Structure 1
């Protein structure tokens, strides 16, 4: 791949995830401190990601893939997104904030598929080339978090002054930059120029439902949905939790999770080949349980090491379960249902699973709140830890040892 193309794709990935990280990590803290939102309102805001994930296949499969160049629709979405981000920056209450965020996430979630499509279209060997491009997205996510903490927007003083609202302005500016830059990206024409042969079931991944006839895959599929319930607790509660207990530079420290994601992404192929799919998934689910135990018993003083270790486990939690799960799904799908299968597992996890998780996290957080507004975090974190253990036991009992060939 020419250097110029590689540079453009890497910058695209950097900006894509920089935009997302600019506001998503601190969303719960922003809503609680700036808009005085309740826990259930915060969970509703995070649920916009799930609604976006459910609707995304319609936009990508029915519009982007058939009528427009991918880089052009990416540019238009991010230009619109810049305007929506600015409106969120000016929001003063949750009732005006939520519908704008919902519209934004319905538009944003399809861009995650679009940046992949643009990248794959320029590659001769995606298995070797894609990770070198995609890693810049993780770097973008980390840089945004470090920048927020460097500017002290998430500090106690910054929260008092309402500086966290600046994250939306930062997201608006970077979204505008990517929107304009997208029109300079490599051309990625639509995969189909008509609706002939269009199947809604294929767009939504429903054609791959036949894979559930395989007992092992059915166990994995159900486990994937269930494990996304505790995952939602991490996304929704970690920033408010670290801020409430007084941990300084919490957003920058949370970026350690993405750093570990890069490290364990490199370790995954070795572990996967040596120990197989079952042990890899077991290690991942065990890491979920341990992470939340560390959060439950850690604190901002002598126990801060427990919090940092829990954050650092993100690489094991995410890579060993979701990335290995994508490989496992691809192996079972076969050539005919590869795209449909990935669409189905994404719809089930980021759509259905996390939607349930965000709702549960909001209900439980609201239950364990004191009159002062402080939370009983130990009780809150023990619940997703327990859920993770139950999912682990279910998986270990029902999933049989299996050898897979990811190239089949």
Structure 2
């Protein structure tokens, strides 16, 4: 780790950035349902956040790598997201929400991969240290998901857009406090990024990331609605989301120990196996509070361990001047394309079979990721990116 740069501003950014998601992920679906939108319209509006991750990360990551700096882009896009999201609460018809939300989320999706690249660069000398910084994002998610559950019961779900705007203002403030982290200089000619992307383990990694995000797409669209349909009150919905992210915090904290004992590829494989069980339980046992809690606790593996392992594998696979683009492509393949398609598929399937069908498909996607990961990301493979 570079001792001359404090990691505290990065922790603050993660806290604020994922605090926004602590509002958006659990409660945006119920907010849209309160406006009497159809299941398809809800899935489209929720999937805009993942569509934004298809376009924005690659665009801004390539620009940052080309210019050699990241902070001005992080600050500018964070400020734009905060200003534009204020438009979301002005009207509640579908066309207005679609347009204003798409524009705001395009800028919201831009800074995270650049911050991720900078954090990974600063912690490269201490395996697992990245997770100790990233866990503050999970803490922010918990604080807002639990607090908002009680706050929205008091203020009403209609207050959600304005609370979300306030959190984005905090994101912009945290972005302004970030230092510039330039990638290290590399002597000699630079290898094209396509050469790395064509390697079999790297292709397999992106395919696994896509399938895992596809499996999680329905979770971010319909999990809260499924819980309410199963009879859980709104504060319990927030607590279940918080339980999942609490497990995520724990796994992020333990990652330095885990990476010291097992390679990142093996940890990735563990997360894939856990996802199969988790989504099978959500599909079949949501009415059991004990099993619902157990399934949520596995979020620590299916997201926390999965994400930390993916960042480590990508950092090792790509050269310094390629890492902002690599992180952008990771978000595009996973949270962007994979999450969007999974979310849209859930919008089609929900009226047909509800939670059992939607999350059953998630379990199948996770099973495909598991099979691919165990075959192609084995640490014994000499071409492995780990």
Name the TM tier (shorter chain): 0.7 to 0.9
Q: Answer with 307-316 or 164-173: which moved more.
A: 164-173
**1:277 and 1:118, CA in 2 relative to 1: closer, same or farther beyond 3 A?**
closer
In structure 2, the partner of 1:194 is none
**1:189 and 1:65, CA in 2 relative to 1: closer, same or farther beyond 3 A?**
farther
* Counterpart-to-counterpart distance in 1, 2:340 and 2:326: 20
Question: 2:369 matched to 1:377?
Answer: no
Pairing of 1:233-244 with structure 2 (within 5 A): 233-244=218-229
In structure 2, the partner of 1:230 is 215
**1:235 and 1:14, CA in 2 relative to 1: closer, same or farther beyond 3 A?**
same
* Counterpart-to-counterpart distance in 1, 2:89 and 2:319: 46
Deviation string 1:139-187 (CA, Å, 9 cap, x unpaired) is 1111000111222x2x5xx7xxx8122122112123234435644x255
In structure 2, the partner of 1:373 is none
Given that 1:120 and 1:126 are in contact with CA atoms closer than 8 Å, whether structure 2 keeps it comes out as no
Given that 2:349 and 2:357 are in contact with CA atoms closer than 8 Å, whether structure 1 keeps it comes out as no
TM-score of the superposed pair, with normalisation by structure 2? 0.83
Pairing of 1:97-136 with structure 2 (within 5 A): 97-116=97-116, 130-136=130-136
In structure 1, the partner of 2:277 is 290
* Counterpart-to-counterpart distance in 2, 1:69 and 1:215: 30
In structure 1, the partner of 2:369 is 391
**1:395 and 1:6, CA in 2 relative to 1: closer, same or farther beyond 3 A?**
closer
Pairing of 1:1-80 with structure 2 (within 5 A): 7-33=8-34, 35-56=35-56, 57-62=58-63, 66=67, 70=71, 73-80=73-80
Given that 2:281 and 2:291 are in contact with CA atoms closer than 8 Å, whether structure 1 keeps it comes out as yes
Please say which structure displays the higher CA radius of gyration.
1
**1:133 and 1:280, CA in 2 relative to 1: closer, same or farther beyond 3 A?**
closer
Given that 2:206 and 2:330 are in contact with CA atoms closer than 8 Å, whether structure 1 keeps it comes out as yes
How far residue 265 of structure 1 moved from its aligned partner, in angstroms, is 2.1
Pairing of 1:239-258 with structure 2 (within 5 A): 239-248=224-233, 249=235, 250-258=237-245
How far residue 16 of structure 1 moved from its aligned partner, in angstroms, is 2.1
Question: 2:315 matched to 1:330?
Answer: yes
Aligned length in residues: 377
Question: 2:267 matched to 1:267?
Answer: no
* Counterpart-to-counterpart distance in 2, 1:105 and 1:268: 30
Given that 1:330 and 1:406 are in contact with CA atoms closer than 8 Å, whether structure 2 keeps it comes out as no
Aligned-residue CA RMSD (Å): 3.6
In structure 2, the partner of 1:402 is 380
Question: 2:348 matched to 1:363?
Answer: yes
Unaligned runs of 5+ in 2: 184-189
Given that 1:211 and 1:218 are in contact with CA atoms closer than 8 Å, whether structure 2 keeps it comes out as no
Unaligned runs of 5+ in 1: 192-198, 369-375
The correspondence for 2:158, drawn from 161, 165, 171, is 165
**1:386 and 1:176, CA in 2 relative to 1: closer, same or farther beyond 3 A?**
closer
**1:122 and 1:316, CA in 2 relative to 1: closer, same or farther beyond 3 A?**
closer
Q: Answer with 314-323 or 58-67: which moved more.
A: 58-67
